[in-house]
Chain A
């Protein structure tokens, strides 16, 4: 709720930066989806872009060939993301640790090369474009300034956050957190471990698909980069930056990363990654308790 308000404030206060607001909201939704897998279920993945990309392509193809309504397209993207998660998860989730990690990379690469080969559907290396979205709810046209797009993305993000919060705080979410902490214990309590993980993975697929769909609809283009390893890795960096396993960490991480990127790149376009790297090291090496203690001791020294 608070985040939606902040988002709306940003939308209202930064009319020149609506593109950035939209991008942050979409990326945050994607990183939130990643948090369900990495932070909540405890499964390290580097193939999450597959779920994002398949949603993006599904939304793009749907708009191009079938219907231009954005909400219908979003539903299609959600369905595509969850279906891919369900199908790939049924195979992937039998493994864990390093095997799981490597297999997620493999699945994402397979999906990416399929997208590259299927030129007739995806436009291959040129990307998928040439579709224009109809008005949202039949009322709000996507304007050039991006007002509608930013609001749309923020509302979907808020919905995604609400659903995730409810699910994580439910008995099902507690069981998945339990599996994260101790698989053998949960199995001994009678939890069908793989089934529970698959359900969570499918939900993550739905959110990642929604993020991909939003990206396709607001940019009116889908490229192969939406399936790339770099996107998976970047999302993981954002999640770690904001703190995994708490859901709002996904939002914080995305905002911090994107703003750092934005400002650092304008100061020095070649070395902005250096700053991201330094921030990441600080977060990983400094546990929050230590950071707080350090801040407090500094304040104490000043006073």
Chain B
């Protein structure tokens, strides 16, 4: 068994009378490719938000690398190796793509408290940013303001920012959402090229992608874990069919 990196223990979240996640317990090990699926409103994004630290759980705990981080702010979780992307593209629209990636690198290296040397004075990080963008096929547009990129390319920038942090755990919230057919290939290639020891949790509605990418699938319905198993087991699980198709 490989190293346990991320664990949720009975994560519970209520908004008033609305019970969004119900005692969700998950484990993510190094090298895992776990897909989180479920109908709209099943609580997938709320779960990811509780893990990354933007939403506080009502009860239960989140463990990162053997430490309880439930009460820790998001910044500390990132430093402990947790990175995420957003379902709706969340980027700085006017910053150049290259700058945006450099910013992630500055953050990783703990340099954003430095207030005197120019951002052009860090050639090693600039080269790393350039290399990362090239590896994702974005090298040509490195100097563009982010908002000028096509939507699929902006999704790639989301991925670049997460990877720039050199995480041990990566949460991908619907990386393919809204990406036109023609632009999807590069994203798929990027997913395939993720470091093999990285623990990945992906939320995705595109079932072809889920069954191609995931080695394990967790099905969430009405906030609770309905099924947890290999793609093969999930495909043949009658409860999952009922939850999705309603019969």
Contact = CB atoms under 8 A, between A and B. Distances in A.
A181 B112 contact: no
Interface stretch (B22-30, B94-102, B212-220): B94-102
Interface string B119-134: 1101000000000000
Nearest to B111: A171
B115 A172 contact: yes
Contacts of A172: 112-115
B79 interface: yes
A170 B90 contact: no
A1 to B, nearest CB: 16
A90 interface: no
B161 A189 contact: yes
Nearest to A175: B112
Contacts of B114: 170-172
Contact size class for B? 35 or more
B118 A190 contact: no
A171 B106 CA distance: 7
Given A184-B90, A189-B104, A174 B74 contact: no
A182 interface: yes
A196 interface: yes
B86 interface: yes
Contact of B119 (A171, A181, A182): A171
B115 A178 contact: no
B91 A185 contact: yes
A171 B52 CA distance: 24
A277 interface: no
A255 to B, nearest CB: 26
A36 to B, nearest CB: 12
Contacts of B165: 189-190
Interface size class of A (residues with CB under 8 A): 20 to 34
A189 B107 contact: yes
Interface string A73-110: 00000000000000000000000000000000000000
B91 A188 contact: no
A299 interface: no
Nearest to A187: B74
Interface in A170-223: 170-175, 177-178, 181-182, 184-192, 196, 199
Contacts of B119: 169-171, 173-174
B173 to A, nearest CB: 11
B15 interface: no
Contacts, number: 95
Given A170-B117, A184-B54, A189-B161, A196 B112 contact: yes
B229 interface: no
A170 B111 CA distance: 10
Contacts of A171: 103, 106, 111-112, 114-115, 117, 119, 122
A188 B103 CA distance: 12
Contacts of B95: 174, 177-178, 181
Contacts of B112: 171-172, 174-175, 191, 196
A182 B92 contact: yes
A173 B115 contact: yes
A285 B92 CA distance: 24
Residue of B52, B112, B113, B119 most packed against chain A (CB within 10 A): B112
B115 A188 contact: no
A174 B121 CA distance: 13
A192 B77 CA distance: 11
Contact of A187 (B54, B100, B113, B117): B54
A169 B103 CA distance: 12
Contacts of A166: 115-116, 118
Nearest to B108: A190
Given A175-B107, A188-B84, A190-B165, 16 more contacts: A166-B118, A170-B115, A170-B119, A171-B114, A174-B103, A174-B119, A175-B106, A178-B103, A184-B54, A185-B86, A188-B78, A188-B90, A189-B104, A190-B78, A191-B75, A196-B112
> Which 10 pairs show the lowest CB-CB distances between chains A and B?
A190-B78, A181-B92, A175-B112, A172-B115, A171-B106, A189-B107, A190-B75, A171-B111, A185-B90, A170-B115
28 contacts: A167-B116, A170-B117, A170-B118, A171-B106, A171-B117, A172-B115, A173-B115, A174-B102, A174-B106, A174-B119, A177-B95, A178-B100, A181-B92, A184-B54, A184-B90, A185-B86, A185-B90, A188-B74, A188-B86, A188-B161, A189-B78, A189-B103, A189-B107, A190-B74, A190-B79, A191-B75, A192-B75, A199-B115
